[in-house]
Structure 1
């Protein structure tokens, strides 16, 4: 089903400022409205401007009529009571310009009488829906008259119908891990995960996850304003990696109106069949600190990981990262331990569609992994060592790990950007898929902690999400080539 929510002009004006920040709206459904039929689960928000045209500040509503002003995804249905239900629309995007429904040039006039009657029925109350046939006719009319809506609909549908990964396929496994690493970066930095979730398989199996990212649509008016305000004007710190001949590098940027910026860099240098796994590296530039997570897949059935020489060698290499860290000299440099590297033993259900939630798994600090390998709890019947939920009594889950990183309680101390660049590129050339997040901001440690503790969505600044174009620099001119 495709849902249509109708608001009056004053109601629309009251909510729009919040929607630009929260990207979320919960709307009650009329009693008895059927919601079991499957469908697109798209939502169209309509401003009914027939009675109160003067109460809306947007110039586009100077005329009477009904206009589609926002589009979104119905992510969940909520049971309010024994009978009453509501839908939560998230994420939402404002249309580049309002789409008129009424009048000779309106969308309804281009529909057949049957489909127009179905859409009018959905418009008759505060919330309704139309079936598949009516939606297909409505979509065809929308895209013919307003082709600028195409990327919005494509992006929302990609969020609603995510690609299902095949855990038996090496490329899908790699993209699955990289997706989780990307979502982890948004989790520890408080940027919206929806900016990285719309995705389709890239043309090549060897390409990084970000190569298949479907761009988040943004209004041209907002882009123009943000460029004037200074957002989006800074060149990516890792732009030169896109000119290197031996790696594939894709970059996506999230930046909010306070100037806080997350540059996400997805790089690999080897064919997927010979890749060693995924690294997530998060670097917080104001404190010159980074955290690394090395992904390890638990077997789907027993949810266990049998330790081998490759893992032990990798742990030896990761322990060298601790040598990059200096001793804390200021209060915000203190850490719970010297651990800056973690192993994430993760598992995914076969055939499970991706969600914005992180993959279930155990986050284990490297020093704790060493203790576990010397403890009888990980000793197998034949003498080998095994990591599993049954054998590892204590571990961090995704939310706990994210909170530690957000508050700067784990990570290196005093590591430079140059060390980060050298280390990240080295990991890619050694055969890992690297998902690197580079955060810059003017936040003080106190301001960072205050933001991390805040649970109010209304106070969040607006975020831009974009893939910056590569510089015209020739490959032969790129550093390190």
Structure 2
């Protein structure tokens, strides 16, 4: 997939029939930032997927696994994300095949691994994607603790997650994401994130079926 800058903060990636447009309103590379909310929209399946980013730290001692500290704001963030997931469950257009999902999950947290070597502009750092509902259950059950007993996320206490490839395939095929959620609800989510000091990044995907890709510069 080749990427070309539309301007400083907008990139358009094309791969055959697929077009992905990415707009970063802060002109900060998403994969090296913390406190990021990625808002992804699929034109093909009329759905939003929202991802909150956290960076994992390298092991401090040999034999230890990667670890991410649990922010004190995490409970409130998870509550808000799970509430967003539930918004589309009462949608009146559930008969539309394009709106079928495997479940209500539209929000995820990515725990990104430390970058070990230089990356290409189009590459994503490796990491773990966790549905908000699962992460909330783990937190509420007191499972998110590190080896010293403090609040932390590790491979062991998560137990299961989605890889980059698994997550990308589910999103690209419309198996996960919102269903019937209004744009005003997405805007409210983004506005709250901005007030928290997070960095909003917007991406939109479209399969070429004879239509021109939507220009994100007109959707601010």
Asked if 2 retains the 8 angstrom alpha-carbon contact of 1:428 and 1:434, the reply is: yes
Q: Deviations over 1:256-276 (max 9, x none)?
A: 886x6543221149xxxxx86
Match of 1:384 among 150, 153, 165: 150
Asked whether the equivalents of residues 89 and 104 of structure 2 are also in contact (C-alpha less than 8 Å), the reply is no
CA shift at 1:431, angstroms?
A: 1.5
Is the 2:146–2:153 Cα contact (8 Å) retained in structure 1?
no
Are positions 1:315 and 2:73 aligned together?
A: no
1:362 positional shift: 1.0
Whether 1:366 and 2:132 are equivalent positions in the alignment is yes
* Structure 1 counterpart SS, 2:194: helix
- Which stretch of structure 1 is more off in the superposition, 319-328 or 293-302? 319-328
Match of 1:285 in 2: 43
Q: Give the Cα separation in 1 of the matches to 2:42 and 2:77.
A: 24
Structure 2 contact 48–177 (Cα < 8 Å) conserved: yes
Q: For residues 275-300 of structure 1, what are the alpha-carbon distances to aligned partners after superposition, in whole Å with 9 as ceiling and x for unaligned?
A: 86112111113432100111101112
Tell me the distance in 2 between the aligned counterparts of 1:312 and 1:376.
12
CA apart distance, 1:253: 3.6
Deviations 1:158-210 (A, max 9, x none): xxxxxxxxxxxxxxxxxxxxxxxxxxxxxxxxxx1x315x9xxxxxxxxxxx7
Go from structure 1 to structure 2 and tell me whether the alpha carbon gap of 1:342 and 1:372 turns closer, same or farther (over 3 Å shift). Answer: same
TM-score normalised to structure 1 length: 0.37
TM-score (norm 2): 0.74
Count the aligned residue pairs: 202
**Kept after mapping to 1: 8 A contact 2:75/2:136:** no
Q: 1:251 aligns with which of 3, 10, 19?
A: 10
Q: In the alignment, is the contact (CA less than 8 A) between 1:252 and 1:264 conserved in 2?
A: yes
Structure 1 residue 333 corresponds to structure 2 residue 92 = no
CA distance in structure 1 between the partners assigned to 2:10 and 2:138 by the alignment: 37
Say whether the 8 Å CA contact 2:86–2:104 is kept in structure 1: no
1:195 aligns with 2:25: no
Change (3 A) 1:392 1:255: closer
Q: In the superposition, relative to structure 1, how do residues 267 and 425 fare at CA in structure 2: closer, same or farther (>3 Å)?
A: farther
1:205-249 CA-partner distances (Å, limit 9, x unpaired): xxxxx73xxxxxxxxxxxxxxxxxxxxxxxxxxxxxxxxxxxxxx
**Structure 1 residues 360 and 410, CA, compared in 2 at 3 Å: closer, same or farther?**
same
- The 1:376/1:323 distance shift into structure 2, 3 A limit, reads closer
Structure 1 position 435 matched with structure 2 position 194: no
Higher relative contact order (CA 8 A, sep 6+): 2
Cα distance change of structure 1 residues 435 and 331 upon mapping to structure 2, 3 Å threshold:
same
Structure showing greater Rg: 1
Contact 2:68 2:153 (C-alpha < 8 Å) held by counterparts = yes
Aligned-residue Cα RMSD (Å) equals 3.5
Query: Counterpart of 2:73 in 1: which secondary structure?
Result: helix
Note if contact 2:3-2:12 (Cα within 8 Å) is conserved in structure 1.
no
Give the SS at the match of 2:138.
helix
Q: 1:303 corresponds to which residue?
A: 66
- For structure 1, the 5+ residue unaligned runs are 1-191, 199-209, 212-249, 270-274, 444-460, 472-478
Structure 2 distance, partners of 1:267, 1:380, is: 35
More helix by share: 1
**Distance apart, 1:307 and its partner CA:** 1.6
The answer as to whether partners of 1:339 and 1:410 remain within 8 angstroms in 2 is yes
Distance 1:381 1:418 in 2: 42
Q: 1:268·1:431 contact (CA, 8 Å) conserved in 2?
A: no
**1:381 Cα deviation (Å)?**
5.4
Matched residue SS, 1:391: helix
Contact preservation (8 Å) 2:53, 2:109 = yes
Shift of 1:427: 2.8
Distance in 2 (alpha carbons) for counterparts of 1:195 and 1:437:
13
Could you tell me how far 1:442 is from its partner in structure 2?
A: 6.6
